[in-house]
Amino acid sequence: MAKIKIKNEFILGNCLDILELLDEQIDLVLTDPPQYRLINKNIKFNNRTAFVRKADFDLFDSYKEFTIFTEKWIKLVSVLMKKDSTMYISYAEQFSNDLINICKKYDLSYFDTFYWHKTNAVPQVRKRNFCSSIETTLVFNKGNYTFNFLKQNEMHDFMELPILVGKKRLKNKYGGTLHPTQKPLKLIKHFVKISSNIGDTVLDPFSGTGTTNVACKMLNRKCLGIEINEEYYLASVKRLKQINRTKSGVLGWI
């Protein structure tokens, strides 16, 4: 099968299959992969048994299955990354050490952790715990990576932004939330500005609603988004078409 050339587009399919068809070297990987979400049950983690709070499993029946999947896609992506590239991965902080160890196997060095403070996080109704208002993104580098230092007040290791609500969140055909973890465009643009340059090639193997592609088009980068969910894929394609170039050369929404 012919190799895929990256422009600024989406591909519908499983990234574990698609990544093997790419022959271009990547400057920046930016993604929010499927997560391991816990439910109320006793589980074994690092040889200890713990009772964990209620949430949902994303796709995985066990933590081991999750880590195997994570290593598979990271291995495939690492082969495509240039020797001076960067990768941002949204990842649960309690599992970050395991992610760091996986990446180390594929010559990806841990660089830093970035924190998104959700200023409108879901309140603690039972008032028996802290509000979960932080989302972590781990940053990994290869070699002499790109790091565009912006203004001092823009280079903190956190950003305060609300969770997208109302008209800012994409809707499904029933008028409900299309994607549960749609990221703010401002956050993704921030990462793209810092860790890539105009004309660079960006990859998002779990593109969801296409925010990475939108950010890259607005900032004049090439980006390939891979998405396995057809509803998300179709919404992403439509969303990207809503970006146009104005007379001033600035990309924006129409």
Q: Which residue has the higher pLDDT, 24 or 45?
A: 24
HSE at residue 192, side-chain half, CA atoms within 13 A, is: 27
Map tokens 């291995």 to a residue: 75
Residue 67 forms part of a structural domain = yes
CA angle at 155 for the pair 154 and 160, rounded to the nearest 5°: 65
At residue 121, the pLDDT reads: 79
User: Model pTM?
Assistant: 0.84
Which pLDDT score is estimated for 251?
A: 44
Residue 54 has pLDDT above 90, yes or no: no
CB atoms within 10 A of CB 175: 7
> Is 1 part of a structural domain of the chain?
no
Domain residue limits at 82: 8-253
Calculate the alpha carbon distances from 70 to 37, 64, 73, 208 in Å. 14, 10, 6, 17
Query: According to the model, what pLDDT value does residue 246 have?
Result: 37
Q: What percent of the chain has pLDDT over 70?
A: 77
In whole angstroms, what is the distance from residue 143 CA to residue 99 CA?
19
173 is a domain residue: yes
Is there a domain that residue 3 lies in?
no
Whether the pLDDT of residue 98 is over 90: the answer is yes
pLDDT (tens digit per residue) in 213-244: 999 999 999 999 999 999 999 989 988 888 75
Does the residue 232 lie in any domain?
yes
**Residues 107-146: tens digit of each pLDDT:** 999 999 999 998 887 787 888 888 888 899 999 999 999 9
On whether residue 249 sits in a domain, the answer given is yes
CATH number at residue 179: 3.40.50.150
Domain membership flag for residue 2: no
Give the pLDDT mean for 42-46. Answer: 44
Planar angle of CA 159, 145, 14, nearest 5 degrees: 75
Please check whether residue 56 lies inside any domain of the structure: yes
DSSP lists the bridge partners of residue 243 as 253
For 71-105, the DSSP string reads HHHHHHHHHHEEEEEEEEEE--GGGHHHHHHHHHH
Name the average pLDDT for the chain: 84
**Looking at the predicted structure, is the pLDDT value of residue 57 above 90?**
no
Contact between 30 and 86 under an 8 Å Cβ cutoff? The reply is no
Structurally, how many domains does the chain consist of? 1
